[in-house]
Amino acid sequence: METLLIMLLMPLPVFMGRAYDPSPGIFQSKEEARNLECTRLSQAEAHERFPGQVPEPPARGTWAVTDALACTRRFMRSGERPARDEVILSSLRQTVGDITQTASALEAGELTWHVDAFYPEPAVAAKISVAARTELVERGRKVSDRVPVLAAGDIAVLWQLPPKRAYPLACARYFAQGVLTERDVFLGVMIVDARETRLHAGLCVRGEWKWLQ
Amino acid sequence: MAPVRPAFLSLLLVVLPTAVAAADSTLSDAQQAQLEALRGEIAAQIQLQAYDLLDELVFGWTEQPVFALETPLVLADVSVPVGFGSGMQALIENHFAALIVKNPRTRVALTHCPQCTAVVVHSGARGTIVSRGVDEPEALSTAGTLSGSRHALFLDFEVEGSALVLRARITRLEPTLPILYAKTLSTSTSAPALLRSGDRLKSAAEAHQEYVDALRGRGLYLVPIRIGVRTYATGSAQVKATPFPWLQVGVEGSLSQARSWMGSFSVGFSWAPELHTGWLAQGRVSRLISGSASSLTGPDLYAFVGGSVISIHGQSALAFQDQIPDLDDLLGLLAGREPDATFGAFQLGLELRIKNRIGAGVFLESLPAMGDAPAIGDYLDLGLIQFHSLGVEVSFCF
């Protein structure tokens, strides 16, 4: 009995170490591991961010481990939001940052920017357009919160067209109806196919539509 | 049996879908409950992080105000992460309003404008437009319901992976709706919420420094005072060692602020009238087992091993001899000869600490030299090692 007890206690230090391991194993399922976002940091940076958990690096250096893996559980676990929305929202800052950077580089003049997003889920569409507007203002652009709107007849026609034709035509109609002038530029962010998880973007300037990505 | 089987199968076919549906329903309810609990837990975390971002935003306004003069501002919209409800929205609104009230240096005065967020219908030359008030300022202006507010604030929170992102923008309520100010703030990856006080806002760097100072304030060294009692298992003889009260004082050090490893050295004293006077010197190494770092708010559990040298003088020392006390020993006592015993001990125990200030522990002690002492038995025999003593203690650290 005593020998059995000792044998059971012997691997305890190993298990205690494994308890903090973010990889799937005894203490963590694959699903839980997938919900972690991990970043590798140097020991100095990890000490700066987590002084209560990571000791200061030794002044004379060391041969031992000198980095740390900081893992945080994603706020929304996989499966809690629709998969497409989750992919779009998780990388929103990065994607919208890339789009606005390209758009800003193409139209550098003193123009008023208008932004709208075309996405099947209205709540997500609002998030995308807000992110794009905020990014543009932070890049020093003059941005309006007003969304250009077409007449109901135009929308009825555009609704029937494939995206490759609908957006250029909508751009032309914005200009023709005076919704957008020569001093305005419209940035549209959208998904073209309902199955895709990548955002596309286009610019409407002086009635001409340019696909950015 | 043959005619029964088709009947049984038919019954099974009828019952099975119902049973499966019932099982599905139960599972779905259980999952729903789990999901709700999870959402509550996440909302609590998100709420703290959202407060942190609002603090950062308002602190920025106190340092660099958006407006030159005090300006009325309508909180037009607070949107929460997709998948979260309006409860969080209300909490954010309240916290934001409290911050603005407590920080007049922002030069912002929150104003009430119910029409701004309500749906308004405006008919004009361009047709009839149905929209929110803030999206159609002409309608509000015509109706005279802007109540002096010419600026609207929009706060948008979204969860992006493990980060919470706040996008704030201020729009002037005029036909072209120009955005005057926009700011994106994100919780830095894995950083804990800073929990700043609303009426004494400070920068993230200052708040972080305060956190570090709070940790450092704990110090790497402590002076623990331990009060404990050791009891000894009864051996083969009819003589029993009395429980020993101990008072110990020493110094305790840790390798880092995480306090995952600690070492201590202490000296102790025990006294019982007419029975004994005892001295003890003890060293311990403790390992935190309830987490990777000691908690500022919750209790910590440590496992420890230690070694002691104990010296007992007086009648009680007779129990630690290799023989049962006999008449000679008693005569010696009457003659004024004081028996003594000095021995080593190894400890194994658990200690629960609260904020490194108060602790309670329990331990087993092995006395290798007492294997032949008839008055000392063992509480636990692991073959290689026997534990003869059981002790409890409380600690106060200074």
Name the residue among B79, B258, B382 with its Cβ closest to that of A52.
B258
The residue with greater pLDDT, A169 or B212, is A169
Assess whether A170 and A89 both reside in one domain. yes
Within a domain: A10:
yes
Residue in chain A nearest B296 by alpha carbon: A52
Name the residue among B46, B176, B211 with its Cβ closest to that of A144.
B176
What does the alpha-carbon distance between residue B109 and residue B247 come to, in Å, rounded to a whole number? 62
What pLDDT, on a 0 to 100 scale, did the predictor assign at position A204? 93
B206 band by pLDDT with thresholds 50, 70 and 90: confident
The residue with greater pLDDT, B183 or B115, is B183
Q: Residue A180, Cβ neighbours under 10 Å: how many?
A: 21
Quick check: B46 contacting A, CB < 8 Å? yes
Quick check: B63 contacting A, CB < 8 Å? no
Assess whether A194 and A116 both reside in one domain. yes
Contacts for A82-86: CB closer than 8 Å, 24+ residues apart: A82/A121, A83/A197, A84/A197, A85/A121, A85/A124, A85/B82
Pick from A1-10, A164-173, B144-153, B227-236: least confident? A1-10
Instruction: Indicate the SS3 state at residue A53.
Output: coil
Quick check: B89 contacting A, CB < 8 Å? no
Q: Which of A73, A96, A111 is the last residue of a domain?
A: A73
What does the alpha-carbon distance between residue A7 and residue A4 come to, in Å, rounded to a whole number? 5
Q: Are B151 and B74 in contact (CB under 8 A)?
A: yes
pLDDT at A176 over 80: yes
Q: Which of A73, A98, A126 is the last residue of a domain?
A: A73
pLDDT tens across A104-133, in order? 998 877 899 999 999 999 999 999 999 999
**Cβ contacts of B158 on chain A, cutoff 8 Å:** 89, 92, 127, 131
Which site among B212, B257, B288, B379 would you substitute to test the A interface, given the most A Cβ atoms closer than 10 Å to its Cβ? B257
Pick from A173-177, B10-14, B84-88: least confident? B10-14
Spatial CB neighbours of A22, under 8 Å, sequence gap ≥ 6: A28, A33, A36, A38, A69, A71
Assess whether A68 and A156 both reside in one domain. no
**How many structural domains are present in chain A?**
2
Structural domain including A54 reads 2-73
How confident is the model over B166-170, as a mean pLDDT?
94
pLDDT at A184 over 70: yes
Residue in chain B nearest A80 by alpha carbon: B83
The residue with greater pLDDT, B351 or A156, is B351
Tokens of B176: 């072209």
Q: Average pLDDT of chain B?
A: 80
What pLDDT, on a 0 to 100 scale, did the predictor assign at position B16? 43
pLDDT at A188 over 90: yes
Q: Where are the alpha helices (DSSP H) in chain B?
A: 4-63, 86-102, 114-117, 137-143, 204-217, 327-334
**Cβ contacts of A145 on chain B, cutoff 8 Å:** 135, 169, 171, 177-179
Second CATH level (architecture) for the domain B219-397: Beta Barrel (2.40)
What does the alpha-carbon distance between residue B96 and residue B110 come to, in Å, rounded to a whole number? 10
Pick from A130-134, B16-20, B302-306, B311-315: least confident? B16-20
The residue with greater pLDDT, B26 or B53, is B53
CB-based burial of residue B49 (10 Å sphere; 0-12 exposed, 13-18 middle, 19+ buried)?
Answer: buried
End-to-end Cα spacing for chain A: 69
**Cβ contacts of A80 on chain B, cutoff 8 Å:** 35, 83
**Considering only the top CATH level, what class is B35-111+149-213?**
alpha beta
End-to-end Cα spacing for chain B: 83
The residue with greater pLDDT, A31 or A143, is A143
Q: Are B186 and A96 in contact (CB under 8 A)?
A: no
How confident is the model over A143-168, as a mean pLDDT?
87
Assess whether A92 and A66 both reside in one domain. no
pLDDT at B272 over 70: yes
Tokens of B52: 């942190």
Pick from A162-171, B10-19, B109-118, B252-261: least confident? B10-19
Pick from A144-148, B101-105, B271-275: least confident? B271-275
* DSSP element (H, E) containing B123: strand B119-124
CB contact under 8 A, B162 and A81: no
Give me the residues paired with residue B341 across strands.
B312
**Cβ contacts of B155 on chain A, cutoff 8 Å:** none
Q: Are B372 and B322 in contact (CB under 8 A)?
A: yes
pLDDT at B309 over 90: yes
Name the residue among B177, B178, B382 with its Cβ closest to that of A2.
B382
Quick check: B57 contacting A, CB < 8 Å? no
Within a domain: A186:
yes
pLDDT at A100 over 50: yes
CB contact under 8 A, A51 and B257: yes
Of A28-37, A70-79, B246-255, B330-339, give the range with the top mean pLDDT. Answer: B246-255
Q: Looking only at Cα atoms, what is the longest distance across chain A? A: 90
Name the residue among B161, B190, B383 with its Cβ closest to that of A49.
B190
B45, amino acid identity: Q
Spatial CB neighbours of B132, under 8 Å, sequence gap ≥ 6: B76, B116, B117, B118, B119, B120
Residue in chain B nearest A70 by alpha carbon: B190
Within a domain: A100:
yes
Q: Which of residues 192-251 of B touch A (CB under 8 A)?
A: 192, 211-212, 215-216
Q: Are A33 and B238 in contact (CB under 8 A)?
A: no
A32 band by pLDDT with thresholds 50, 70 and 90: confident
Tell me the whole-structure pTM to 2 decimals.
0.65
CB contact under 8 A, A2 and B167: no
Give the gap in angstroms from C-alpha A44 to the nearest C-alpha of chain B.
Answer: 14
Q: Where are the alpha helices (DSSP H) in A1-151?
A: 2-9, 12-18, 30-34, 43-49, 83-90, 92-106, 122-138
Q: Which of residues 141-160 of B touch A (CB under 8 A)?
A: 154, 156, 158-160
**Cβ contacts of A52 on chain B, cutoff 8 Å:** 215, 257-258, 293-294, 296
What does the alpha-carbon distance between residue B360 and residue A110 come to, in Å, rounded to a whole number? 70
Name the residue among B82, B292, B382 with its Cβ closest to that of A20.
B292
Give the gap in angstroms from C-alpha B203 to the nearest C-alpha of chain A.
Answer: 15
How confident is the model over A32-49, as a mean pLDDT?
84
pLDDT at A82 over 50: yes
Tokens of B19: 């049973």
Name the residue among B178, B190, B293 with its Cβ closest to that of A142.
B178
B295, HSE (Cβ side, Cα atoms, 13 Å): 12
Assess whether A107 and A140 both reside in one domain. yes
What pLDDT, on a 0 to 100 scale, did the predictor assign at position B218? 64
Pick from A137-146, B27-36, B309-318, B336-345: least confident? B27-36
Specify the CATH number for the domain of residue A192. 3.40.50
A79, amino acid identity: G
What pLDDT, on a 0 to 100 scale, did the predictor assign at position B18? 44
What pLDDT, on a 0 to 100 scale, did the predictor assign at position B144? 65
* DSSP element (H, E) containing B301: strand B299-313
Assess whether A142 and A200 both reside in one domain. yes
What does the alpha-carbon distance between residue A109 and residue A112 come to, in Å, rounded to a whole number? 9
Assess whether A112 and A187 both reside in one domain. yes
Assess whether A24 and A68 both reside in one domain. yes
Within a domain: A78:
no
Tokens of B156: 């948008």
Spatial CB neighbours of B7, under 8 Å, sequence gap ≥ 6: none
How confident is the model over A67-87, as a mean pLDDT?
85
Quick check: B86 contacting A, CB < 8 Å? no
Tokens of A58: 């030794």
Assess whether A129 and A193 both reside in one domain. yes
Domain boundaries, chain B: 35-111+149-213, 113-146, 219-397
CB contact under 8 A, A53 and B258: yes
Assess whether A106 and A179 both reside in one domain. yes
What pLDDT, on a 0 to 100 scale, did the predictor assign at position A16? 62
- ipTM score for this prediction: 0.84
pLDDT tens across B43-76, in order? 667 888 888 899 889 999 998 999 998 888 989 8
Assess whether A56 and A90 both reside in one domain. no
What pLDDT, on a 0 to 100 scale, did the predictor assign at position B190? 47
Instruction: Tell me which residue has tokens 């507007």.
Output: A133
Q: Are A184 and A114 in contact (CB under 8 A)?
A: yes
pLDDT at A59 over 60: yes
Assess whether A63 and A140 both reside in one domain. no
Quick check: A110 contacting B, CB < 8 Å? no
B368 band by pLDDT with thresholds 50, 70 and 90: confident
Q: Residue A82, Cβ neighbours under 10 Å: how many?
A: 15
Give the gap in angstroms from C-alpha A182 to the nearest C-alpha of chain B.
Answer: 15
The residue with greater pLDDT, B88 or B238, is B88
Quick check: A21 contacting B, CB < 8 Å? no
Q: Which of A73, A96, A117 is the last residue of a domain?
A: A73
The values of phi and psi at residue A48, to 5°, are -65, -40
pLDDT at B347 over 50: yes
pLDDT at A92 over 70: yes
